[in-house]
Chain A
Amino acid sequence: MTGEKAMDTIKKDEKMIELDAYMQSLKGKDRPESQLIAILHKAQSFYGYLSKEVMNHIAETMDIPTAHIWGVATFYHYFNLVKPGKFVVSVCLGTACYVKGAGEVLQTLKDELKIGVGETTKDGLFTLQEARCLGACGLAPVMMIDDKIYGDLTPRRVTEVIRNYRKAADKK
């Protein structure tokens, strides 16, 4: 039982219209409920994460129990259940980076941002993540902010980079 009809709790914006169109296109298929992971991928690509409202909406549109969707969303690490920050900071903990001091880099980030791995700062600016190899071992230790790589890091350099991002965000 997933309820009667879709609730109007999420904005019917372009993203939602596209997500709805995608779900409708799956409905004609055999066992449309088996497309759940694809739908969740789509939703996360639009919103950056899976909100309760979006999961509810998918539940009602696809007639899949919400508890089941929640189970799938929590099973795969790929799915974000909280809204990520404006900047996603990934620290490489691959072998090369680790040997060259990635542990210190990570600790500096934790101290500077006052959050743990997988968390987002209160101002919504930064999300801190661990990464395995980013393919930039020559620059070890490295971190990636969104899709920009920062190499040859020292604790001081890390602090500088983060403060520059803050300043840039403040100006806007």
Chain B
Amino acid sequence: MDHNEYLKLDFTDDHPGLPMTRRAVLQALGGGIIILFTGGEVIAQRTEGRRGSSGQGLPDDFNAFLRIGEDGAVECFTGKIEMGQGVVTSLAQELADELDVSLDSVHMVMGDTDRCPWDMGTFGSMTTRFFGPALRAAGAEARAVLLALAAEQLAKPVAQLAVEDGVVFDRADRNTRVSYAELAKGKQIAKHLKAPVKTPDAFKVIGKPTTRRDALAKVTGEAKYAGDMRPPGMLYAKILRPPAHGAKLKSVDASAVSEVKGAQVVRDGDLVAVLHEHLDEAEQALSKIKADFEIPQLDVDDRSIFDHLLKVAPEGEDVARGGDLKQGEAGAAEVFDKTYLNSYVAHAPVEPHTAVVQIEGKRTTIWASTQTPFGARDDVAEALGCPPQDVRVITPFVGGGFGGKTRNLQVVEAARLAKLAGKPVQVAWTRAEEFFDDSFRPAAVVKIRSGITAGGDIAFWDYHVYFAGTRGAEQFYDIANHATISHGSGWGGAPGSHPFATGAWRAPGNNTNTFARESQIDIMAAKAGVDPVEFRLRHLRDEKMRGVLTAAAGKFGWTSAKPSNGRGCGAALGIDAGTYVATMAEVEVDGKTGAVQVKRVVAAQNMGLAINPEGAKIQMEGCITMGLGYALTEEVHFRGGEILDRNFDTYELPRFSWLPQIETILIEDRNAAPQGGGEPAIITMGAVVANAICAATGARLLQLPMTSERVVEGLAKR
């Protein structure tokens, strides 16, 4: 299957469904001036259509995406949310450029289900790829409509007019001018025009490195997150949690809660919570509850999980296949059979899951830390038994998501408790709850059987992935005889696969698949006696991939020099969300303790057009730094359904002292469609560190994370 096709299968937000009608959109617009005007339309504050339930696609009317106020301020509406990935800046750049307004005049309205067009969620590096083109088209059309209106008003042909910073003027006489705000004033005209988006040579804002637009709010403490919201009368909830997944509540004694002044116990089936006007006192009151749980005996833990997964794995499904594996193997001089493992990994955003729910009559208003505000709206509507139109989710800044804030469990909890309490309720998970109720990146196994010919060519490639899914599974090397087979979903897996919830984690599956593939490539290169970069180039016809690899190698100063003093270098390649990545790293390994220090990382990335090159580089740096965690320390420890990690003391995130020298290269391709940026550069981190460790020490590690214990074991096995 074509790479882009399967990416689309995995992550398309081009959701089938009815586009909103033009009339519904018009009705949905609030007061102020809009750029699509219609005679006599009553502009209502809200309509059902705008907030229709799930199954909607992006609207075809540009008014759903933007509005120009009387003061010339441009509101940009998007169902996407800002969680650090920087689309608060890059989407504004896209709209400002297409409309020809200043970037400062664009105000982002994000993740508000009443005001923004429907959206599936912010994940899969899809914002720029799929929402961006729709937003640009809306901006381009709005600009064309405004120009036509200006031509009428100024009595000049459109061809004679130009726009700068939201002001239309006559090229021949700049004093003959009218602003977007003035054009909009008082008029109601329904007009649609076909208008192409700008070509790269006309860009003024797109492609220009731009600092974050949310930085001022974030450095002053002004930026609001869900937990900072406190409608009048709000109570904080602390919820009774089971000691293990699958545990059933047998009995509960909450009589001692009354010792805490102002604490109130509420219960709805298995949902038992304490409410208090202070969060810490709610927590104290919760500790007074005595509860008995029946804990199911689950004979699986973080060591035995891989055997378990292989045992329960379903039949595989072809991801890709070509040539003839048997024939390929017959021509192989060397065959390599390797099994790669990786553990469950937590999302661990510094902001835990949080939601505030306020129910006033029929209307429910929610402030949530979520990557899926429309999903949250629908989930709450279902839980409360009301139509989705009666629920509004507002998404303030989200303090990190990484794929973990898509399930909205905390939102539904807060909604149920708000209904029970008759008052607004905030649910803010503790760190321990965050580690317990996270949907971890699934533990997974990859088995690869491959071979090389006497001449050092790859003879065949037989690849089986278990529970990491297909993203990044398909290899991109020039291999005539190959098969890629995926067993079990990379998301939840069938019941009985995982002892707790699993889900997408920054570039889901691709970290696992890239670790296995790129390790195997190095193993074959070593046996063939060929430098690993040279070996890759010999098996790469894809010019884009060759481009990123040679760029990274050039910057890194890649040589085949023998390692010394425990230092060594590695390379790894991958494709994610349409973006090509080549990463090189130098590591230092302590032969006694097994401690690994990554000294330097160079990553080159081709993502087509980079809307905000500075933002793209920040994402690459973030991916590299975060990726050190799953490479070296991050794994969820568990016994049955009990999660043993409760905080950052045992679950180790990357720290300042881990930081390598990081250099990033963006290979500009301004004429190509923009591809994903939030995830790609993380996918190579496991493999590049594994390959560098092997180059430094000769120890080949087949399991992530490569903890010092595993490195010591690997060194002993040499």
Whether chain B is bound by chain A comes out as no
Interface residues of A, Cβ cutoff 8 Å to B:
none
Interface residues of B, Cβ cutoff 8 Å to A:
none
